Amino acid sequence: MDTNLIDLSQFNLFGTIPGSTGDFMHIMEGIVLALVFRYIIALKPDILIQQKIFSEEKISAARNEF
């Protein structure tokens, strides 16, 4: 038996588990980011205006969408 060979079946199993949970985490991250952005637009739009991220027109347009 050659001890230099690596058993790739265990590596493939280990590689699929984090990959499948990573997709779920990315979806959740997007949802949380959208909710935080919605919160900022609704309650603290001056933060985005002071940082010159969005203009007042874009903020008011985003408020009308919700």
17-54 tens-digit pLDDT? 666 667 888 899 999 999 998 898 889 999 888 998 88
Identify the pLDDT of residue 2. 52
DSSP string, 1-66: --TT---HHHHHHHHHHHHHHHHHHHHHHHHHHHHHHHHHHHH-HHHHHHTTSS-HHHHHHHHHH-
Q: Report pTM.
A: 0.56
